[in-house]
């Protein structure tokens, strides 16, 4: 799917499904690999179980001050783990904290882990992406996140 509100990215990572799945459930790990290149993360809450919630911020570097969706320098968002199938699937619902209606709504992010020769194919599909997030920027961010995950775990 690639309509304007559905964005996808994937990458084969040289690691087991189990190792990758565990990296999604550890708040310290998530803070280190999930923010796109150049950004950092702060985790405020993290409860990795079905219906568990999390809250975090991606913080922009000083050179990009003013780009944040929630504050001048941060994208703050809350998420809920909708479904967790160990070593296979993670489904999250995410909402940004923002006064700008272009970033309103609940985005669903589905991450599938598929065994392939030499590792695991990690596929991310974001659905109902807020219209304020361009497809090009979001794909670049997701690809950066997948590269960070590979660097973290390989």
pLDDT over threshold 60, residue 3: no
pLDDT band at 66 (very low <50, low <70, confident <90, very high): low
Nearest alpha-carbon partner for 36 in 131, 154, 151, 153? 151
In angstroms, the CA 49 to CA 109 distance is 15
pTM value > 0.75: yes
When pLDDT is averaged across residues 29-36 and rounded to a whole number, the result is 95
pLDDT per residue as tens digits for the range 116-138: 999 999 999 999 999 999 899 89
Long-range (24+ apart) CB contacts under 8 A made by 133-136 are 133/7, 133/103, 135/2, 135/4, 135/7
Edge-to-edge strand list for the sheet holding 119-127: 7-13, 119-127, 107-116, 89-96, 74-85, 53-59, 40-46
39-122-124-137 Cα dihedral, nearest 10 degrees: 40
Percent of the chain with pLDDT over 90: 79
Contact 145, 34 (CB under 8 A): yes
């Amino acid at each position: 799917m690639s309509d304007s509100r559905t964005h996808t990215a994937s990458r084969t990572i040289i690691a087991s499904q189990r190792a990758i799945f565990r990296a999604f459930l550890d708040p310290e790990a998530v803070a280190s690999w999930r923010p796109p290149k150049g950004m950092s993360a702060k985790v405020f809450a993290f409860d990795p179980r079905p219906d568990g919630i999390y809250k975090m911020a991606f913080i922009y570097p000083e050179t990009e001050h003013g780009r944040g969706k929630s504050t001048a320098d941060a994208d703050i968002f809350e998420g809920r783990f909708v479904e967790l199938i160990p070593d296979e699937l993670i489904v999250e619902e995410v909402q940004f904290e923002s006064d700008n209606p272009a970033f309103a709504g609940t985005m669903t992010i589905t991450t599938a882990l598929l065994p392939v020769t030499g590792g695991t194919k990690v596929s991310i599909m974001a659905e109902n992406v807020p219209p304020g997030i361009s497809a090009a920027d979001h794909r670049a961010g997701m690809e950066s996140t997948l590269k960070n995950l590979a660097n973290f775990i390989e």
